[in-house]
């Protein structure tokens, strides 16, 4: 456990970078034209490179071919941020905190859907249990983005969505991603 001093003689456990510190990191990293240009792009699928994130966070540089997306998911107990470095991404999200366990299907209220477009240079920070999908809707252009999470992702919950019904489909753990 890392420790930090909060005032003379008082020590508290370190809580890692905040979502806004992660947002600052992804914005600065997305502005690094040389790094962004170094990412190999594949016309068939997403590409990614692991980055050194601040304060023990997990960070990624991700390439998005035209027409690709993540599907609905969350990042469990991790907070995070992402910023578009090139192109434009669209995020659909839910303005509601889902239960962390004990359900397979939920019916969503009518007013929970949010949509945001993130052009190059823009980003978003989010807290734990943020449910969203990210899309590159361009028919012709790759997008590139930078993502950071703290603590490093313990798991991803993947969902399907049909109208107001959100269904937990499966849970992925880091060992599933290798």
- Which pLDDT band holds residue 2 (cuts at 50, 70, 90)? very low
Q: Which residue has the higher pLDDT, 125 or 98?
A: 125
- Does the residue 6 lie in any domain? no
Residue 12 has pLDDT above 70, yes or no: no
Q: Dig out the tokens for 22 from the structure.
A: 């992660």
- Does the residue 7 lie in any domain? no
Helix, strand or coil, per DSSP, at residue 28 = helix
Residue 30 has pLDDT above 60, yes or no: yes
Per-chain mean pLDDT for the chain: 90
- Does the residue 97 lie in any domain? yes
Question: pLDDT tens digit string along 88-110?
Answer: 999 999 998 888 788 899 999 99
- Does the residue 10 lie in any domain? no
Report the percent of the chain where pLDDT is more than 90. Answer: 80
12: enclosing H helix or E strand: strand 10-13
CATH assignment at residue 35: 2.60.120.10
**What is the per-residue pLDDT for 14?**
57
Q: Dig out the tokens for 2 from the structure.
A: 């890392």
Residue 11 has pLDDT above 50, yes or no: no
Please count the structural domains in the chain: 1
**What is the per-residue pLDDT for 5?**
37
**What is the per-residue pLDDT for 118?**
98
- Does the residue 8 lie in any domain? no
- Which pLDDT band holds residue 178 (cuts at 50, 70, 90)? low
Strands in 105-107's sheet, in edge-to-edge order, are 105-107, 165-172, 156-162, 72-74, 132-135, 88-94, 113-119
Q: Which residues pair with 16 in a beta bridge?
A: none
- Does the residue 2 lie in any domain? no
Beta-sheet strands, E only, within 21-151: 47-52, 58-64, 72-74, 79-86, 88-94, 105-107, 113-119, 123-126, 132-135, 143-150
- Does the residue 49 lie in any domain? yes
Question: pLDDT tens digit string along 134-145?
Answer: 999 999 999 999
Q: Give the range of the structural domain holding residue 149, as residue numbers without chain letter.
A: 16-177
Indicate the pTM of the whole model.
Answer: 0.88
The CA distances from residue 127 to 37, 50, 115, 136, 149, in Å, are 29, 21, 17, 23, 10
- Does the residue 11 lie in any domain? no
Rounded to the nearest angstrom, the gap between the alpha carbon of residue 79 and the centroid of all alpha carbons in its chain is: 8
**What is the per-residue pLDDT for 138?**
97
Q: Dig out the tokens for 138 from the structure.
A: 């361009």
- Which pLDDT band holds residue 3 (cuts at 50, 70, 90)? very low
């Amino acid at each position: 456990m890392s420790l930090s001093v909060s005032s003379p003689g008082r020590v508290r456990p370190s809580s890692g970078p905040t979502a806004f510190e992660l947002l600052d990191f992804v914005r600065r990293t997305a502005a690094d034209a040389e790094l962004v240009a170094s990412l190999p792009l594949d016309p068939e699928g997403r590409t990614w490179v692991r980055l050194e994130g601040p304060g023990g966070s997990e960070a990624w540089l991700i390439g998005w071919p035209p027409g690709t997306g993540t599907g609905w998911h969350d990042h469990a107990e991790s907070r995070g941020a992402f910023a578009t470095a090139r192109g434009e991404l669209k995020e659909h999200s839910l303005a509601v905190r889902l239960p962390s366990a004990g359900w397979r299907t939920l019916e969503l209220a009518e007013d929970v859907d949010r949509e945001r477009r993130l052009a190059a240079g823009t980003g978003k920070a989010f807290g734990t249990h943020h449910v969203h999908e990210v899309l590159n809707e361009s028919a012709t252009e790759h997008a590139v983005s930078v993502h950071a999470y703290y603590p490093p992702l313990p798991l991803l919950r993947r969902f399907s969505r049909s109208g107001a019904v959100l269904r937990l489909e499966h849970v992925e753990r880091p060992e599933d991603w290798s």
